[in-house]
Structure 1
Amino acid sequence: MWRHNSFYYVLHLLLALQCVNTAEESPAWQWACDDGKCIKSKHNPQSSEPALSLEACKMFCNEYGVLWPAPTGVTDLGRFLSKININNIELQIMKRGKSDDMMRSAGRRFRYLAKLAVPYGRSPKHAGKSVDVYVHNRNPDVTEFTPTDTDESYSLRISPDTNQRINATVIANNFFGIRHGLETLSQLIVFDDIKDHLLIARDVSIDDKPAYPYRGILLDTARNYYSLESILSTIDAMAAVKLNTFHWHITDSQSFPFQSTKRPHLTKYGAYSPSKVYTKENIREVVNYAIKRGIRVLPEFDAPAHVGEGWQDTDLTVCFNAQPWQSFCVEPPCGQLNPIKDELYDYLEDIYSDMAEVFPTDIFHMGGDEVSEKCWNTSTEIQQFMKQNRWDLDNAGFLDLWNYFQTKAQDRVYKAFGKKLPLIMWTSTLTNYVHVDKYLNKDDYIIQVWTTGSDPQVKGLLQKGYKLIMSNYDALYFDCGFGAWVGSGNNWCSPYIGWQKVYENSPKVMAQEYYEQIIGGEAALWSEQSDSVTLDGRLWPRAAALAERLWAEPASGWQDAERRMLHTRERLVRMGIKAESIEPEWCYQNDGNCYA
């Protein structure tokens, strides 16, 4: 048990003294904390003790209250809730710099989230204390993420200043820590639906930082198009749970919706329609929106496989839309770049340059998954090229061909971005730990694992010294568990993955003694069977489970997080996120009664 039950009785009395109001209608129900659970009971109107609301009870009924993700350092949520006036919340920036615009944006978001604590249709009383939020940014000129070493730590203190004011102070080493601190502060504000008061936790002390620097969501916008509004909404939800990387898988063999100004015919002939294109203005809007919410946007151009639409007239592909497609790729339409064409690398440099113009990133994803030897082997000119280089037409020979492509493409990435930046590739035959160091330098590449968490490749790559991002499909592919779209039955990675399995998917457990080489994890939503309409339900609240795993790497299991997860889902819904329901609301109101 976190604290002795007598503490909650004292808390109840202190809260009651602060929230007492006369001449109000007696409520039907009240809640009291008992052994870490908020217990519902009928309120006795003859009682001299005012009723405690559900959310006020939940704030103090376990170590982390309603916070998500759980803080990793010292956490003291105090023992008081103070009434506050929603109209008297002021944010003061104590040190100015280049991040001022981002800081002001974070302040506006904080005020917005504070207002969302009030349920729709309710009006909080304007009586209550003013809240002064002081933000101390030690390095206010820092405005950009770096791949693995951006400091996202923060400290938060909430204390009474005078009888009419509450002082909340957030201290961090840069904007990104400040933003996280404000996000946590917004979660410490709840609505008392019995008294119609907005309440804030008082005497709070939190020191917090993430366990992993990379905490992401991949969205594939090529199989199906996603509206700009749905992408921005996803970024808002990511910020609410402190995820920090939006991995944009923006092109694939089915469509090329990325606006390439240097090679406009790729977009013209590759997009589903002129209205389903991500223009440079669109992308800049997403990037700017994301960074103000503490999120980097990571572009991916997947190659040499997963290309097709838009490339038809370039003479730079092999086996595009070849039939029967099952012989050449894993889903239609097939298509791979032809690595022996010198002109191809000029195309790639132009695409990379277009991306560098709109994605101010210090990390780049080169794809590299599901390359088919059979596809390349359909080309007699590729066969001749391989023979000239004394490469056999076998697995080893095609790996040499792939490495030929990867080396030349890597040079063009560096040239386009004007610097040497870390590169990411999916696990594949090229990254097999047996020979990966022959092809990919561990100082240049981060490997993103999409196979199972128990795949021997994980340990093998770690032993070779490679850094990994975990996206193991058995826990982190959120498109799994639906009807098949090629063939019958369910799709290939069924069954559906519940939030509990996502929560239990621990990189530390998978990596064991090599866990410091895991830079983080990422949930992937491949979009063959999803679009803007289904997006929220596919991601949320499951992505929130990932967020706590990667932020806190908790030693406890999902059972200890279940009550906070229910609250987090409710908070996302208040933000306008159509998160799937995971339990009846009765379970939210009756802690501990729905799981054995």
Structure 2
Amino acid sequence: MGRHDWTNSLYKFTFLLAVSLASLVRSAQISIGNRLPLWTWECINDKCVPTKPVLDGRMQSLVTCNMLCSSIQLWPKPTGSVSLSTVAVPCRSDLFQLKILQVPSTAVYGYLQDSFNLFKDDLRRMEPSVRGYEDWRSIVIRLVVNGSADPRMRVGTDESYRLSLKPLAGTGNYLSVDIAARTFCGARHALETLVQMIWLDPYAGSLLILEAAMVEDRPRFSYRGLLLDTARNFFPVSEILRLVDGMGMNKLNTLHWHMTDSKSFPMRFAVMPQLAEYGSYGPGAVYTPDDVRAVVRHARLRGIRVLIEIDAPAHVGRAWSFGPKENLGDLAFCYDEDNWASTCREPPCGQLNPENDEVFAILEQLYSDIIQMTGVTDLFHIGGDDISESCWSQNLENRAAVAEVWAKYTNEVLRRLKVVNQNSMPNLTIMWVSHQSERIKTDLKEFVPYLGLQIRGGGWSSGGVEGVRSIYSREDAWDLNDGLGDWWENARPSYNSWQEMYDHRPWGTSGSKNVEGGEATIWSMRLGPELEARVWPRAAAVAERLWADRPEGATRPVHARLDVQRTRMMARGVQATPVWSMWCTHHPYTCV
């Protein structure tokens, strides 16, 4: 069924709007006294054009025109076949029913039930307090999951789904939604697509839903992440949960929680509370295991895994300074450097002591706790960024080449990780690209099949290593910066606009062999309460690049679709910066 194959139903939709006109004019949402809305929008040559309404004429809101006129308004855009009706019918959140027809486990069943409740919460959040219709459609969602019994997002999880929406034969006022997926995550993505087919029409005073649709979809890349740095500045758990909400709306699947750095260690581990005592900003800037579990649960129901990174061996700071007092020896060096520029990229410095076995014992305990709290056993991040040659060469007894020290340290860390992960290496263990990365295939031979490099910078660090998996998070394109530069210097890098982020294809024209995916990054040195507005909708642009990797750049239709997605996010409680002026929202075809 094509978008323009529904002409036989257009009369029905026009009739519905005409019938609702009386209640429309009465609604406090659309009129003041006897006044009509200022504008009505008509779909003319696949464009929504504003005109002045007349009392006896057909009135259509901008949001309804956007959803029914020509282009597909789903975000990220599906990669498979799509067919959407040009007819909308009224619906209510309490008239949605769920029928789970087939599941591979009780765990998946429970997750589907919880995810459906979240779906209804989203609808209630959008729903008006005054309803203009008296006759709504009832919708039955029939779900089949016939693959993995594990509801978690994992490396290799099949996130594909098929969704079919149509009138239920012989029932009059019922619609059916049939969703088929191989995993819970795929089914959850289908529910996200479905909620994007529902919107509040302010003129009708009701939620509307497309009368029919068919979508087949799967992501282009398996790793689609968002990095949040909570070391430079602390964020309450409530803000992290809202960030996760936005990720789910855009089908991102990995919250990379860069939890610690040389600036602070804001996590209280039961096995080593000293790290937070010495390294946090204060009692109110510490996460507990219960906080982590709350984020993990919130994320899982949205098809998202939580990847916690304890950055090491560099970027450790004063959190590790308690060693001598606890009779553990020097756990770290260089954390009190006055001349920091010679030892690290930004103050403060700090680097672990690889000659002290207590360092590895502590890391082993931390890794064990992280795996237990997150339930993520097949993906891990060991840090590895910005290793300082001068710090190690000035403080180690064995002043071997830094590359040799790095190889011994990394081999021992990976060995310890394998031990605590039930003597099995995670399918993908990530480390930041560094000057030592080219030595992976010679110095870390045992672990090469399980390793991945996260590509952060430009120049020497702009690419991966042949035969080693890569995750891209180039700061010159995918960092959600403020354009003001680093606080300790006058350099002012360019602001990464959403258009630049959307157009960026770091795998280039040579293809994407060994590329697992990528992520947008939130380095928080200049970030406070405006977290959501800094992130959205720019991170949504990266989300579509990683889901669909469409060949076109930020064209006019992409601008218009992202504007619609931004409006959706706002309606569901996630703050997002405007894509353009309101004029362009009303006249998108004139602005690009």
Q: Structure 1 length normalisation: TM-score?
A: 0.90
Distance, in Å, in 1 between the alignment partners of 2:6 and 2:59 is 14
List aligned pairs for 1:329-478, cutoff 5 A: 329-361=344-376, 362-379=378-395, 382=396, 384-386=397-399, 391=400, 397-418=401-422, 419-421=424-426, 422-432=428-438, 435-441=439-445, 442-452=448-458, 455=459, 461=465, 464-478=466-480
Are the structure 2 counterparts of residues 528 and 28 from structure 1 closer, same or farther at C-alpha, using a change threshold of 3 Å? closer
Determine whether 1:160 maps to 2:167.
yes
List aligned pairs for 1:45-444, cutoff 5 A: 45-47=55-57, 50-64=58-72, 66-96=73-103, 97-118=106-127, 123-139=131-147, 141-147=149-155, 149-161=156-168, 162-314=171-323, 315-361=330-376, 362-379=378-395, 382=396, 384-386=397-399, 391=400, 397-418=401-422, 419-421=424-426, 422-432=428-438, 435-441=439-445, 442-444=448-450
Are the structure 2 counterparts of residues 8 and 146 from structure 1 closer, same or farther at C-alpha, using a change threshold of 3 Å? closer
Distance, in Å, in 2 between the alignment partners of 1:196 and 1:141 is 41
1:380-409: CA deviation from partner (whole Å, max 9, x where unpaired): xx1x413xxxx4xxxxx2111111111111
Q: Measure how far apart 1:572 and its partner are.
A: 1.4
Distance, in Å, in 1 between the alignment partners of 2:476 and 2:9 is 43
Letter in 1 for 2:48: C
Q: How many residue pairs end up in the alignment?
A: 563
Q: Measure how far apart 1:489 and its partner are.
A: 5.3
Are the structure 2 counterparts of residues 62 and 555 from structure 1 closer, same or farther at C-alpha, using a change threshold of 3 Å? farther
Are the structure 2 counterparts of residues 298 and 224 from structure 1 closer, same or farther at C-alpha, using a change threshold of 3 Å? same
Q: Measure how far apart 1:124 and its partner are.
A: 4.8
Distance, in Å, in 1 between the alignment partners of 2:16 and 2:576 is 34
Residue pair 2:455, 2:463 contacting (<8 A) in 1 also: no
**Aligned partner of residue 408 in structure 1, secondary structure:** helix
1:477-518: CA deviation from partner (whole Å, max 9, x where unpaired): 11341254213453xxx211111011111245x2x3441321
Aligned to 2:32: none
Determine whether 1:16 maps to 2:47.
no
Aligned to 1:394: none
Distance, in Å, in 2 between the alignment partners of 1:514 and 1:457 is 19
Are the structure 2 counterparts of residues 528 and 374 from structure 1 closer, same or farther at C-alpha, using a change threshold of 3 Å? same
Aligned to 2:29: none
Determine whether 1:545 maps to 2:515.
no
Residue of structure 1 aligned with 2:578, choices 581, 591, 595 = 581
Q: Measure how far apart 1:133 and its partner are.
A: 1.2
Q: Where do 5+ consecutive residues of structure 1 fail to align?
A: 392-396
Residue pair 1:263, 1:347 contacting (<8 A) in 2 also: yes
1:543-563: CA deviation from partner (whole Å, max 9, x where unpaired): 111111111111222123111
Distance, in Å, in 2 between the alignment partners of 1:82 and 1:286 is 36
Distance, in Å, in 2 between the alignment partners of 1:267 and 1:465 is 38
Residue pair 2:160, 2:181 contacting (<8 A) in 1 also: yes
**Aligned partner of residue 193 in structure 2, secondary structure:** helix
Residue pair 2:136, 2:173 contacting (<8 A) in 1 also: yes
**Aligned partner of residue 159 in structure 1, secondary structure:** strand
**Aligned partner of residue 377 in structure 1, secondary structure:** helix
Letter in 2 for 1:546: V
1:281-335: CA deviation from partner (whole Å, max 9, x where unpaired): 1111111111111000011121110001221121111111201111110111110
Letter in 1 for 2:571: R
Are the structure 2 counterparts of residues 325 and 176 from structure 1 closer, same or farther at C-alpha, using a change threshold of 3 Å? same
**Aligned partner of residue 310 in structure 1, secondary structure:** helix
Are the structure 2 counterparts of residues 483 and 398 from structure 1 closer, same or farther at C-alpha, using a change threshold of 3 Å? closer
**Aligned partner of residue 320 in structure 2, secondary structure:** coil
Residue pair 1:319, 1:378 contacting (<8 A) in 2 also: no
Q: Where do 5+ consecutive residues of structure 2 fail to align?
A: 26-35, 324-329
Q: Measure how far apart 1:525 and its partner are.
A: 0.6
Distance, in Å, in 1 between the alignment partners of 2:142 and 2:251 is 21
Are the structure 2 counterparts of residues 295 and 124 from structure 1 closer, same or farther at C-alpha, using a change threshold of 3 Å? farther
Q: Measure how far apart 1:81 and its partner are.
A: 1.1
Are the structure 2 counterparts of residues 516 and 32 from structure 1 closer, same or farther at C-alpha, using a change threshold of 3 Å? farther
Residue pair 1:117, 1:189 contacting (<8 A) in 2 also: no
Q: Structure 2 length normalisation: TM-score?
A: 0.91
Are the structure 2 counterparts of residues 231 and 52 from structure 1 closer, same or farther at C-alpha, using a change threshold of 3 Å? same
Distance, in Å, in 2 between the alignment partners of 1:507 and 1:36 is 33
Identity, % of aligned positions: 34
Q: Measure how far apart 1:108 and its partner are.
A: 1.0
Residue pair 2:464, 2:470 contacting (<8 A) in 1 also: no
Letter in 1 for 2:230: T
Aligned to 1:496: 495
Are the structure 2 counterparts of residues 460 and 428 from structure 1 closer, same or farther at C-alpha, using a change threshold of 3 Å? closer
**Aligned partner of residue 236 in structure 1, secondary structure:** helix
Q: Measure how far apart 1:126 and its partner are.
A: 4.4
Residue pair 1:507, 1:520 contacting (<8 A) in 2 also: no
Q: Measure how far apart 1:14 and its partner are.
A: 4.5
Distance, in Å, in 1 between the alignment partners of 2:433 and 2:584 is 41
**Aligned partner of residue 522 in structure 1, secondary structure:** strand
Q: Measure how far apart 1:474 and its partner are.
A: 1.0
Residue pair 1:241, 1:544 contacting (<8 A) in 2 also: yes
Determine whether 1:556 maps to 2:552.
yes
Letter in 2 for 1:266: L
